[in-house]
Chain A
């Protein structure tokens, strides 16, 4: 079979027609649903970067292949983007001609009355015997009957047009809002997509862990991690400073099924800005702080034991609140200490902090409550080269002991160090000593409930378009409601004059789109019109 040659323009037009057809839109929509599935099967870099790292470690042979197909970045992948962009192009190609058509329809008059109304799906009629008179005693004529139908339909929101052919009739149409809603819905979806795109490219997110008593200044360098959009510039950062005054975690104490489960986290902060000499702020999990276009969220918390290392001569070579990363609900946490300078070799320590330590049968510990009941810090100590002098970035939260000698814990002759707040231990090998400082030394000797400071993880977000996203999403819902539930229908009322002077009044309706109430609506119009003419429905 020889196909006719379309030429470039013809081919382009053919592709455009195909792309904007309903069938293609439907297939793209279903394809989008299928394409979204892998993102829930494989960990995604954007939502769960640790999961991706673990996946690579667990599946070293298959992970790189999956990565090649962008299965760890599904929602920014070429193939996923291609589907939704095609879908939206198809949507534009569908919405524009429909909008033009709709604008035209809004300005045009209802169509001519069909010749035979009884063929339509919804139909009602009655005969008015000759000589009937209206309330004022005047005889009914086709003109007065049609006119009364017209004014009634108008009052019900129909657009009407009189036709005077063989018979007198009124043609009416309503429900233009249905198509308007439909177009608003689709256009609003486009709006959502554009607003999300713009927001993603000029916004930013940053994370910062702050120890209670310390502060955070909103500049790029202050963040532990910072993810700017493509078009972000440092000028977008709002100038402010936050001081963390206190943090309170409340744990269930009565319900035996939930002992120790977190029931509330509250951080008390003070904010400072160019026009803000200091405002007290309360930050909770479901209640972010809104500061000049920024949102600050309380996403996590943990313990930050204060550790001081002194050399053999007693000189302080390291002192800091070490952020320990929580590993479970009872806040068993991993702590990493790096002492790069001041000793004969660099020291690295890694270990656990247990807020309420309890020994296991194996001799190890576990934490049985997230509050400070029996705080304990255990550390393995390594001496050697920390590998941080070569300029290769290293995480402060992990230690790679390759090439270092273990001097306490593990294979070393000295067991791992065990410290309670206020205690000091000698570092083996003449490296000096290490102290676990008590944060409230004045408390009673057996009260360690405030002996270790907490830190809180703040998430700082700026998404200048999220209000727009919400606006478009709300418009989409409004559009959806009107497009699904406002019936669009045409109604005709026709008067046929019989030779004997009888007036046969016919009512008919035609649905445009889903309209389950059409029959009832036409019957109702007939009934109401009859009443208007002075007739009453008996049964």
Chain B
């Protein structure tokens, strides 16, 4: 039963990878198409009519509003983008099915070793990307996110795969559900923030007169807007990360007898927390807004990835749950 379910899980994951690959291609084609479109007229900021107020008596008053929001060029959503996003959603559904099946096969949450964690983390990253669209239109990050998901799943299935094995006693705790899940959510928001910051840096250079050839950037928000978006996303990630740190400490107290012991994983979680704390402060520090704070967000996300891969595999410590032979 376990073997059957885990093989179905793998089939779903491989299918998700194939669909993500097409989504990635479509998102890339969309970016290419944006290059051709970027000369489209730009909407002007002006006094906008928000609506007309009417009275029972029939007289009307006009409610007007100065549109102070940054100018975002209007453009028609390309067919490529629509197809790409639909494929991303399809791939994500397969991805979630694969991840859930793995959990059912193991009879527990699917994030107890590095292979399972790559499945779950990338599913949550793509999921956050999909659902964040309801709040902010960040579809221009599609190529970055699907590419990221594809690489994570690829490395996960090829390099980190382990068969379903029972949980060692140290992991048998409900904190596994809470601590790791929240860490994954935090990672997802940091991933999107990192992507926005990368584009912000490139956009900033274009605005400074470099990269004239990268015309598709003209269809994306300006650097300042990207910085604001990145900040809003990273701040959510930071809250999750803070919670991860505390939940991890409580669990460490239950399992290892101390809430903090400078274990290598604890050290890196602390380093990441500190980098993002720095990022948030940089927003309020003169001379640190703009590209410097963007670099901090990118370094922070790089540290998150480093913590997941290099620290797990090559550093000695108590968090040795990769499940891989050492």
Mark A residues whose CB is within 8 Å of B.
Answer: 22-23, 25-26, 29-30, 32-33, 36-37, 39-40, 43-44, 46-48, 51, 74-75, 118, 121-129, 132, 196, 205, 252, 255, 257-258, 261-265, 284-288, 295, 297, 299, 459, 461, 463, 466, 469-470, 473-474, 476-477, 480-481, 484, 514, 516, 519, 522-523, 526-527, 530, 534-539
Given contacts A23-B286, A285-B255, A288-B254, contact A33 B169 (CB under 8 A): no
In the complex, what residue of chain A is closest to B265 when comparing beta carbons?
Answer: A40
20 contacts between A and B (CB under 8 A): A29-B274, A36-B267, A36-B271, A44-B262, A46-B261, A48-B316, A122-B68, A127-B61, A257-B164, A263-B169, A265-B169, A285-B169, A285-B255, A286-B172, A463-B258, A470-B259, A477-B242, A477-B246, A535-B53, A536-B54
Segment 276-318 of B: residues with Cβ below 8 Å from A: 277-278, 281-288, 296, 311, 315-317
Do A538 and B256 touch (CB < 8 A)?
no
In the complex, what residue of chain A is closest to B251 when comparing beta carbons?
Answer: A286
Given contacts A126-B53, A535-B55, contact A25 B167 (CB under 8 A): no
Segment 182-228 of B: residues with Cβ below 8 Å from A: 228
Q: Does B250 contact A (CB under 8 A)?
A: yes
Q: How far is the CB of A55 from chain B (nearest CB, A)?
A: 11
Contact of B169 among A286, A461, A519 (CB under 8 A): A286
Q: Does B173 contact A (CB under 8 A)?
A: yes
Once bound together, how far apart are the Cα atoms of A252 and B2, in whole Å?
15
Q: How far is the CB of B105 from chain A (nearest CB, A)?
A: 11
Once bound together, how far apart are the Cα atoms of A461 and B277, in whole Å?
32
Segment 228-271 of B: residues with Cβ below 8 Å from A: 228, 231-232, 235, 238-239, 242-243, 246, 249-250, 253-264, 267-268, 270-271
Determine which residue in A26, A39, A44, A473 has the highest number of CB atoms from chain B within 10 A of its CB, and name it. A26
Q: How far is the CB of A330 from chain B (nearest CB, A)?
A: 14
Once bound together, how far apart are the Cα atoms of A40 and B281, in whole Å?
25
Q: Contacts of A284 on B, CB cut-off 8 Å?
A: 169
Do A261 and B168 touch (CB < 8 A)?
yes
Q: Does B137 contact A (CB under 8 A)?
A: no
Determine which residue in B166, B254, B260, B275 has the highest number of CB atoms from chain A within 10 A of its CB, and name it. B166
Do A258 and B63 touch (CB < 8 A)?
no
Do B263 and A537 touch (CB < 8 A)?
no
In the complex, what residue of chain B is closest to A466 when comparing beta carbons?
Answer: B259
Q: Contacts of A287 on B, CB cut-off 8 Å?
A: 254
Given contacts A123-B66, A262-B169, contact A469 B259 (CB under 8 A): yes
Do A29 and B54 touch (CB < 8 A)?
no
Q: Is the interface of A mostly helix, strand, loop or mixed?
A: mixed
Determine which residue in A47, A129, A522 has the highest number of CB atoms from chain B within 10 A of its CB, and name it. A47
Q: Does B51 contact A (CB under 8 A)?
A: yes
Q: Does B11 contact A (CB under 8 A)?
A: no
In the complex, what residue of chain B is closest to A48 when comparing beta carbons?
Answer: B316
A interface footprint on B152-174 (CB within 8 Å = 1, 0 otherwise): 00000000001111111110110
Once bound together, how far apart are the Cα atoms of A29 and B275, in whole Å?
8
**What 6 pairs across the A-B complex have the smallest Cβ distances?**
A258-B165, A257-B163, A285-B169, A297-B257, A33-B274, A286-B173
Do B228 and A299 touch (CB < 8 A)?
no
Do A33 and B311 touch (CB < 8 A)?
no
Once bound together, how far apart are the Cα atoms of A519 and B168, in whole Å?
52
Q: Does B62 contact A (CB under 8 A)?
A: yes
Q: Contacts of B311 on A, CB cut-off 8 Å?
A: 40
Determine which residue in A128, A480, A481 has the highest number of CB atoms from chain B within 10 A of its CB, and name it. A480
Q: Contacts of B239 on A, CB cut-off 8 Å?
A: 477, 480-481, 484
Given contacts A205-B257, A285-B255, A297-B256, contact A124 B315 (CB under 8 A): no
Contact of B55 among A48, A132, A463, A469 (CB under 8 A): A132
Do B60 and A538 touch (CB < 8 A)?
yes
Do A530 and B53 touch (CB < 8 A)?
yes
Q: Contacts of A258 on B, CB cut-off 8 Å?
A: 163, 165-166
Q: How far is the CB of A200 from chain B (nearest CB, A)?
A: 10
Once bound together, how far apart are the Cα atoms of A128 and B2, in whole Å?
72
In the complex, what residue of chain B is closest to A266 when comparing beta carbons?
Answer: B169
Once bound together, how far apart are the Cα atoms of A289 and B59, in whole Å?
76
Q: How far is the CB of A22 from chain B (nearest CB, A)?
A: 5
Do B172 and A26 touch (CB < 8 A)?
no
Do A125 and B172 touch (CB < 8 A)?
no
Q: Contacts of B296 on A, CB cut-off 8 Å?
A: 30
Q: How far is the CB of A528 from chain B (nearest CB, A)?
A: 12
Contact of B281 among A22, A288, A477 (CB under 8 A): A22
Q: Contacts of B258 on A, CB cut-off 8 Å?
A: 205, 461, 463
Q: Contacts of A23 on B, CB cut-off 8 Å?
A: 285-288
- Besides the known contacts A26-B281, A40-B264, 6 further A-B residue pairs in the complex with CB atoms under 8 A apart: A46-B262, A470-B259, A519-B65, A526-B50, A537-B52, A539-B51
Do B169 and A538 touch (CB < 8 A)?
no
Q: Does B56 contact A (CB under 8 A)?
A: yes
A interface footprint on B41-60 (CB within 8 Å = 1, 0 otherwise): 00000000011111110011
Determine which residue in B242, B243, B274 has the highest number of CB atoms from chain A within 10 A of its CB, and name it. B274
Do A516 and B232 touch (CB < 8 A)?
yes
Q: Does B69 contact A (CB under 8 A)?
A: yes
Q: Contacts of B283 on A, CB cut-off 8 Å?
A: 514
Do A36 and B270 touch (CB < 8 A)?
yes
Q: How far is the CB of B136 from chain A (nearest CB, A)?
A: 9
Do A286 and B255 touch (CB < 8 A)?
yes
Once bound together, how far apart are the Cα atoms of A493 and B147, in whole Å?
49
Once bound together, how far apart are the Cα atoms of A48 and B53, in whole Å?
72
Once bound together, how far apart are the Cα atoms of A128 and B232, in whole Å?
38
Q: Contacts of A264 on B, CB cut-off 8 Å?
A: 169, 172
Do B65 and A523 touch (CB < 8 A)?
yes
Once bound together, how far apart are the Cα atoms of A40 and B271, in whole Å?
10
Q: How far is the CB of A488 from chain B (nearest CB, A)?
A: 13
Contact of A30 among B165, B242, B270, B278 (CB under 8 A): B278
Q: Contacts of A48 on B, CB cut-off 8 Å?
A: 316
Contact of B235 among A22, A263, A484, A519 (CB under 8 A): A484
Given contacts A26-B288, A480-B242, contact A538 B54 (CB under 8 A): yes
Do A36 and B274 touch (CB < 8 A)?
yes
Do B268 and A40 touch (CB < 8 A)?
yes
Do A537 and B63 touch (CB < 8 A)?
yes
Do B261 and A22 touch (CB < 8 A)?
no
Once bound together, how far apart are the Cα atoms of A338 and B61, in whole Å?
99
Q: Contacts of A125 on B, CB cut-off 8 Å?
A: 63-65
Q: How far is the CB of A89 from chain B (nearest CB, A)?
A: 16
Q: Contacts of A127 on B, CB cut-off 8 Å?
A: 61-62
Once bound together, how far apart are the Cα atoms of A33 and B307, in whole Å?
14
Q: How far is the CB of A477 from chain B (nearest CB, A)?
A: 6
Once bound together, how far apart are the Cα atoms of A367 and B317, in whole Å?
25
Do A286 and B170 touch (CB < 8 A)?
yes
Do B315 and A261 touch (CB < 8 A)?
no
Once bound together, how far apart are the Cα atoms of A476 and B239, in whole Å?
10
